[in-house]
A and B are shown apart, each in its own frame.
Chain A
Amino acid sequence: MSGQAAGLAAQQRALLALLKGRPVPAGQDPYLDLVRGSRGLTMLQMITTWWRRFDLERLAPLTSRALARAGRFEDALARLGRDPDTPGAISALAMYFLEQHVEDADPLIAAVASTERALTLVARGDRSRHEVRWDRDPAPVLSALLAGQRPGPAAPGDFSVIVSRGLAGAPE
């Protein structure tokens, strides 16, 4: 089938590259040159980023907000746009995004992403017990993010957030 569809395949690969902002030689295919300069391509790129932002702000609100407060959310969105492994499915996109930040160099972002990843897994039915280590009191940080505010200073120390389907205090 792939050989039979060689011309179509080449055009689709070139359009993918244009959409993702990857290099496509100019002056070799008039149609691709037309697409390159079209407002439709610009609009598609804009819409794709807009949807990705909308989905992540909805499905991974804590980490999206933490990154936004750190001035890094736009970079994260741009990186997802370029990444060939970024999933197309919304639910898979949120988990992929969270997993990209669980080992973030910023310990606050890493803790928020790890906590939100655990919450997302448990909300989807995961029955595991997740423990996320924090280097500061997580309560004011998570409260501020939930309220859409910049997290203020939090008391430093070793803290753990436990996420599981069990009720707080109940034997597991």
Chain B
Amino acid sequence: MQSKAVPVGQPAIGVTYEGGNPALLDRLVEVADYLEVAPDLIATGTGDGRGIRREILDEWRATAEKVEIVAHGVGLSIGSASGWNEAYLRLLDELADAVPLRWHSEHLGYTTVDGEPLGTMLSLPRTEEALELVCERVIRLQERYPAPFLLENIARMLPDPDGDYDEAGFVNELCKRTGCGLVLDVYNLQCDAHNHGFDIDRFLDALDFGAVRELHVAGGTEIEGMKLDVHSREVQPATVALAARAAAAAPAVWGATYEVLPEAVPVLGHDVIVNEVTRLRAALS
């Protein structure tokens, strides 16, 4: 594994990549310090036969010689009261056995209930009950994997239920109790501000930036007046500016990642994706 020389005090710059696109990969390893992969999105098959295809793992092994790799899960469902998704952990095991992971992360939410997929991801109520549930699971993950574990704030589509904590208080307490880091997704903050009047300044003022290890930036779309977290576009200048503000406030941030859906790659084109990575580095340097 190689590391590009990232100046001290600046975050490494990463980008999502799901494999199977060697032309894009060649471009990305030139401009990114790390690649972020979702184990769920490179898996095939169903049930007990679900796994990561050998040729994809081989590609990631070869890629690990050129650039660092981080895993960012979608389907662990760490907040499901009925239990998390063991199948996701088997995929993560496969990936972690094949390549060294700089860190791995998941979303602070849930995607299944009693094993039934929601078809989307929902946020957790900020209650003591939910906090204890997630903390216990974070600790189990920390015991299971040597790579550091981070959790990401997700965009909230449904109204906010009553809770015991405010937004910042919940993640501060989670990080404090477990030692896990935070992926601060600044585009998700903007989605919440647009859709629910979420107060970003108040949140950032109360956030313990010492726990922020990674920043996520993305560009999405708006439908019927709601801003959607779909990672399908170029990053808006206001999102880059918010990332720069967060990076400046976070003393121990490791990386900043431009997230783009694999489905959006043919639409955006390789040049645009490479340019977004370069633009992010320039903005955070």
A140 at interface, CB cutoff 8 A: no
| Contact partners of B136 in chain A: CB under 8 A | 1
A91 contacts chain B at the CB level, 8 A cutoff: yes
- Residues of A at under 8 Å CB distance from B? 1-2, 4-9, 11-13, 15-16, 19, 31, 34-35, 38-41, 43-44, 46-48, 51-52, 54, 58, 81, 84-92, 95-96, 124-125
CB-CB under 8 A from B41, the residues of chain A are: 90
Interface of chain B, main secondary structure = mixed
Residue pair A34, B44 in contact (C-beta under 8 Å): no
- Given pairs A4-B133, A16-B113, 18 additional interface contacts (CB within 8 A): A2-B83, A7-B129, A8-B125, A8-B127, A12-B82, A19-B118, A19-B120, A31-B159, A31-B161, A34-B159, A40-B226, A41-B158, A47-B120, A85-B116, A89-B46, A91-B43, A92-B46, A125-B53
Bound complex: CA A91 to CA B44 (Å) = 6
Contacts A89-B43, A91-B43 given: A38-B159 contact, CB under 8 Å? yes
Residue of A nearest to B113 (CB): A16
Chain B positions within 8 Å of A13 at CB level:
113-114
Q: Which residue of B lies closest to A14 (CB)?
A: B113
**Is the CB–CB distance between B122 and A15 below 8 Å?**
yes
CB-CB nearest in chain B for A48: B119
Nearest first, the 9 A-B pairs at minimum CB distance are A88-B117, A9-B81, A5-B81, A48-B119, A16-B113, A8-B81, A92-B46, A40-B157, A91-B44
Which chain B residues border A16 with CB–CB below 8 Å? 113-114, 116, 118
Interface residues of B in 40-58 (CB under 8 A from A): 40-41, 43-46, 50, 53
Contact A5 B133 (CB under 8 A): yes
Whether B257 sits at the interface, judged by CB under 8 Å, is no
Taking a contact as CB atoms under 8 Å apart, the answer to whether B130 and A8 are in contact is yes
User: For A1, what are the chain B residues with a Cβ–Cβ distance below 8 Å?
Assistant: 81, 83, 133, 136
Give the contacts of B124-155 with A (CB-CB under 8 A).
124-125, 127, 129-130, 132-133, 136
* A52 to chain B: closest residue by CB: B119
| In-complex Cβ contact of A43 among B75, B119, B159, B224 (8 A) | B224
What separation, in Å, do the CA atoms of A41 and B195 have in the docked complex? 12
Asked if B16 lies at the interface with its beta carbon under 8 angstroms from chain A, I say no
Given A19-B119, A43-B157, A92-B50 in contact, is the A12-B43 Cβ separation under 8 Å?
no
Taking CB atoms, residues of chain A closer than 8 Å to B158 are 15, 35, 38, 40-41, 44
User: Among A31, A38, A92, which residue has its beta carbon within 8 angstroms of that of B162?
Assistant: A31
**Least CB distance, B47 to chain A, in whole angstroms:** 8
Bound Cα distance from A35 to B122, whole angstroms? 12
* A-B contacts at CB below 8 angstroms, number: 116
* Complex-state Cα separation, A90 to B45, whole angstroms: 10
Interface residue from A31, A48, A54 paired with B263 (Cβ < 8 Å)? A54
B258 within 8 A of A: no
Chain A residues within an 8 Å CB radius of B195: 40
Interchain nearest-CB distance for B44 vs A (Å): 5
The closest CB in chain B to the CB of A32 belongs to B161
Cβ contact within 8 Å between A88 and B159 = no
Known interface pairs A40-B157, A44-B158; A124-B127 also in contact (CB < 8 Å):
no
> Would you call B60 an interface residue if the criterion is a C-beta within 8 Å of the partner chain's C-beta atoms?
no
Chain B residues positioned under 8 Å from A87 (CB to CB): 46, 117
Q: What's the least CB distance linking B48 to chain A, in Å?
A: 12
> A1-B133, A89-B75 are known contacts. Are A11 and B161 too (CB-CB below 8 A)?
yes
Which residues of B in the span 1-59 have a Cβ within 8 Å of any Cβ on A? 40-41, 43-46, 50, 53
Docked complex Cα distance between A96 and B45 (Å): 10
**Complex CA distance for A37 and B110, rounded to whole angstroms:** 22
Query: Distance (Å) between the CB of B5 and the closest chain A CB?
Result: 37
Q: Once the chains bind, are A43 and B223 in contact (CB under 8 Å)?
A: yes
Of all chain A residues, the one with the shortest Cβ separation from B112 is A88
Q: Kindly name the residue among A8, A31, A58 whose own CB sees the greatest number of chain B CB atoms within 10 A.
A: A8
The answer to whether B46 and A95 have CB atoms under 8 Å apart is yes
Q: Kindly provide the distance from the CB of A85 to the nearest chain B CB, expressed in whole angstroms.
A: 8
A9 partner residues in chain B, CB cutoff 8 A:
81-82
| Contact call A44/B159, Cβ cutoff below 8 A | no
